[in-house]
Structure 1
Amino acid sequence: MTGKGRELADMMERRKVDILCVQKTRWKGSKARSIGAGFKLFYYGVDSKRNGVGVVLKEEFVRNVLEVKRVSDRVMSLKLEIEGVMLNVVSGYAPQVGCELEEKERFWSELDEVMESIPTGERVVIGADFNGHVGEGNTGDEEVMGKFGVKERNLEGQMVVDFAKRMDMGVVNTYFQKREEHRVTYKSGVKSTQVDYILCRRGNLKEISDCKVVVGESVARQHRMVVCRMTLMVCKKKRSKIEIEKKTKWWKLKKEECCEEFRQKLRQALGGQVVLPDDWETTAEVIRETGRKVLGVSSGRRKEDKETWWWNEEVQDSIQRKRLAKKKWDMDRTEENRQEYKELQRRVKREVSKAKQKAYDELHTRLDTREGEKDLYRLARQRD
């Protein structure tokens, strides 16, 4: 995830994805941060070199979050209330095949605990890299999966199926017939398989109309995004429009000319009195109204993305070319296409580094302005 937040947000916006579970974030800490384009990432990690999980939400759903459970750097969940419906989104990252059995058992125990803490009447969607193959076909397991997996089942895949049976869930990917290229979630060289799955309660499978793998994106080098279309059956309720409050620019009183003008206008508004009247409510309203007229008010518009204030068109253009090169290499795996994709990966890193440096240089020249101070304070908070 490091350095790819805005690229991920752009992909979600382009693909019309509202909620995304991410793994291997490799960000230390337990925070929520804007990643640009109107998306926010809730994440948890204990080591910047391994593991880490997160859930990305479209900004309009952030106010619906009721609870965030950061269980470990392999399991976390968010509870949202959407028009009266409780939706629990769980992000998981299972240990790889070669890891110790104890570590694998700890992961499944944590996932079990999360599921057991969720009331049976609430929706649950799990998006996870399970590092296992449930396999093609569903003989004997018809109640929890469809026929459309990939290749043979392994021990880790059996753990996924056992978990689904234990929790009365369905492995969503396997219910939709797609050509193999749109079922493969992991591709590295000649190796291709299915290890990333979406699970939901069996009783809510009817709310999912499609599930497929998205090819041609370059945010993740080897993994592919699994997308499902889910329509929650909710009671229709008119949503009230939320407006961002406009605020008086009281900070302008630090300027002598503004302060003097405010003093004069306030005196006029109070009828020339030097001593304030006893009725505080009346006085306060006069002060507020004078402030609005003399100092002005904020626009009330949404603030710009905090995390990607350095973003520019050159970076966006380079990422677009990298994405097209990845798509080209996926379709025709020649050495020439691979080298082109690798070169564009390096170019994107250079463009990002250059854009950040340019933004920092501009910030340095603005340090003695109020906007520069605000930018510096914001950056300091991001690094807490």
Structure 2
Amino acid sequence: MWNTVNARTSPGSDLQEARPPPVVKKRGLPRDERPRLKTLVRVGSLNVGTLTGKRNGVAIAVSGPLKEHVSSVIRVSDKIISLRIATKDGFWTVVSVYAPQCGCTEAGKEAFYEELDDVIRSAPEGDSMTVAGNFNGHVGQDRQGFERVHGGIGFGRRNQEGERNIELAEAHDLAIASTFFIKRESQKITYCSGGRQSEIDHILVRRQFLKTVKDVKTIPGEEIAGQHRPVVADVCIALPKQTKAVREPRIRWWKLTGETQTFREKIAAIGLPDPCGLIDPVWASATSIILTCARDTLGETKGGRRGDRATWFWNEDVQKMVKAKKDAYKAWQKTKSLSMLAEYKLKKKKAKAAVSRAKNAAMDELYDKLESSQAEKHVFRLAKAHRRASLDVTEVRAVKNEEGEVLRDAVAVKERKEIPRNQ
């Protein structure tokens, strides 16, 4: 649901234009339904401190539907990473950044902005571009001299780092999206600590695509980080049509070692056909009997596309504890009372303990498998899964033909990839 009370659409967006007339068909017939906007994709940025214990690091988390259309990933440094996503109308370049803080050396700041300049310039001009992250700069409310890239609806006063951020935006014709939307103060602040509030996380888009940004706001909450708040932007972008790969269920033949005797007994109970008959009918009948007995004895996989299982330790107990912690945090944010703060800290401690117990139980189960007679198979399976998880792009979904045109259709891509093999 959109906030239509305190929200202003970006200049030139389709929400400010007149709705299409009700009659658009060639014969003058009315529309079958109300015209709809393109797909809204939510882009967000959040500073989480550290997930690996290292000092620096950036990453881009992509949802399942978008993951299938990632064409390339470029790790520039521990402060800059970019990826390219194929869309219906072209490509979308997304860059995640973490700018040096005020206390860092001037040489480090210059090196960061030089690398970021190179990344932005390397993106084709026709690409839609989004640069999001912690810029560690206050762009403020003043837009004088920067009217094209600054909407004048910022928070606080501009500092030296914010001046550098605006100069970067102007040099590459990038609009600071949050400054074009009227929001409450709580939906502008991205960092809050010790009574100090600031807006240092920003989402930049190419000025020509600013009309595709429908909303920008900060979400107060403790879901990931206590001091930093996520800033999100809803972008209207046309995504390619989803092509669901059909994967047939497979018989679990790897369980045959422990079920050999049962498997034999089921085949013997049904009986195989007389081998003296015609080859084709005998073979078809024997195959059907063996496969039927195998399905009954060993079972089948579910089929479909294999998904990621990042939270391998997650269970119902952990889910309840985490939900209770989130509810306690929201209650404390509303009242700001010491009793609610103590309740939140208690729930947080219990949730952390529940996660630790779940992880230990999952690891114990894994160690038991590695000590069994099938340990070698489990090791190879873990190595294969680790390699698959380390790949940024697991499948090529867009290639160029001989004329340089980009092919995205699954059949056309497959045919193009097979051409070099046949030559």
TM-score by length of 2: 0.70
Offset of 1:295 from its aligned partner?
2.1
Partner of 1:257: 261
Query: 2:137–2:200: 8 Å Cα contact kept in structure 1?
Result: yes
Query: 1:109 aligned to 109, 114, 137, which one?
Result: 114
Q: Which has the higher contact order (CA 8 A, sep 6+)?
A: 2
Residue segments in structure 2 that go unaligned for 5+ positions in a row: 1-39, 391-423
Aligned to 1:69: 74
2-structure distance, mates of 1:56, 1:70: 14
Aligned to 1:310: 313
CA contact (8 A) 1:261 1:294 kept: no
User: Cα distance 1:264–1:80, how it changes in 2: closer, same or farther (>3 A)?
Assistant: farther
Aligned twin of 2:303: 300
2:88 and 2:238 in contact (8 A); partners too = no
What do residues 301-355 of structure 1 show as CA deviations (whole Å, max 9, x unaligned)?
5557532121122222222222223323333434443333333332222111112
State the alpha-carbon separation in 1 of the partners of residues 337 and 358 from structure 2: 32
1:207 partner letter: T
Between the aligned partners of 1:21 and 1:273, the Cα distance in structure 2 is: 71
Matched length: 343
Please say if 1:56 is aligned against 2:61.
yes
Return closer, same or farther for 1:119/1:291 CA change in 2, 3 Å cut-off: farther
What is the aligned partner in structure 1 of residue 231 from structure 2?
226
Which has the higher mean CA deviation after the structures are superposed, 19-28 or 111-120? 19-28
Distance 1:267 1:117 in 2: 68
Tell me, yes or no, if the aligned pair for 1:74 and 1:92 is still in contact at 8 Å. yes
Q: Deviations over 1:19-53 (max 9, x none)?
A: 5445456355xxxxxxxxxxxxxxxxxxx331111
SS of aligned partner of 1:145? coil
Percent identity reads 33
Q: How far apart are the structure 2 equivalents of 1:105 and 1:284? A: 73
Deviations 1:131-157 (A, max 9, x none): 110012312211001111111111111
Say what the alpha-carbon RMSD is for the aligned residues.
3.6
Larger Rg: 2
Measured after TM superposition, the shift of residue 89 of structure 1 is 1.1
SS of match in other structure, 2:103: coil
Q: Does structure 1 residue 346 correspond to structure 2 residue 357?
A: no
Structure 2 CA distance for aligned equivalents of residues 122 and 341 of structure 1:
45
- Equivalent AA in structure 2 for residue 244 of structure 1: R
2:50 alignment partner in structure 1 = 26
Does residue 150 of the first structure (1) align with residue 155 of the second (2)?
Answer: yes
1:78 match: secondary structure: strand
- 2:10 corresponds in structure 1 to none
User: For residues 135 and 289 of structure 1, do their structure 2 counterparts lie closer, same or farther at Cα, with a shift above 3 Å needed?
Assistant: farther
Q: Within 2, Cα distance between the matches of 1:109 and 1:262?
A: 70
Shift of 1:290: 5.9
Structure (1 or 2) with the greater strand fraction: 1
- Indicate how the Cα distance of structure 1 residues 238 and 172 shifts in structure 2: closer, same or farther if over 3 A, else same: closer
Q: Which shows bigger deviation, 242-251 or 206-215?
A: 242-251
Task: Please say if residues 135 and 151 of structure 1, whose CA atoms lie closer than 8 Å, have aligned partners that are also in contact.
Answer: yes
Distance 1:27 1:192 in 2: 24
Distance (whole Å) between structure 1 residues aligned to residue 373 and residue 332 of structure 2: 48
Q: TM-score, normalised by structure 1?
A: 0.77
> Distance between the aligned counterparts of 2:109 and 2:253, measured in 1?
57
The DSSP-based 3-state class of the residue aligned with 2:117 is: helix
Match of 2:202 in 1: 197
Equivalent residue number for residue 123 of structure 1: 128
State the distance in 1 between where 2:48 and 2:216 align.
Answer: 22
Tell me the secondary structure at the aligned position of residue 331 of structure 1.
helix
